[in-house]
Amino acid sequence: MNTQRRQFDLLPDDQKFLDELGLPWETIVDGSPWVLIHDFPTHDGYTHATVTAAIRIETGYPAAALDMVYLYPALARKDRQTIGATQAMQALDGRQFQRWSRHRTGANPWKANFDNIGTHICLVEDWLAREFEK
């Protein structure tokens, strides 16, 4: 990808995190504001080694929590076991992204003065890894 779109500005800490992550990323507006992170590594047990990970920037962010992740192309496990809560699709940027319906819990709530895109990406990485710990 040669030119990353920047259709809206991120908070400086979020932009710094994404720049330091070292993966190509974009901000787009497609109904809602979204961050797209390209070449996002998954896990050896999935059908794709990398995907585009999309995160919807919720109204009121950073006080409002980021939630879920959307992946393109859709992931499946190589061992053909079903991945729960991933059947819904989201039209985004002319493609169909797989919604990973994963949420924070009461034991791990969103902390408005602490959590951000970086901490959300850490959760996404954990969700991808934890799928194989079941």
Question: Please, what's the largest Cα pairwise distance for the chain?
Answer: 41
The model's confidence at residue 133, banded by pLDDT at 50, 70 and 90, is confident
pTM equals 0.95
Burial state string for 36-48 with b = 16 or more CB within 10 A and e = fewer than 16: bbeebebbeebee
User: Which tens digit of pLDDT belongs to each residue from 23-67?
Assistant: 999 999 999 999 999 999 999 999 999 999 999 999 999 999 999
Tell me what pLDDT residue 105 has.
86
Over residues 89-123, the pLDDT tens digits come to: 999 999 999 999 999 888 889 999 899 999 999 99
Token digits for 91? Answer: 């039209």
Which amino acid is located at 53 in the chain? Answer: A
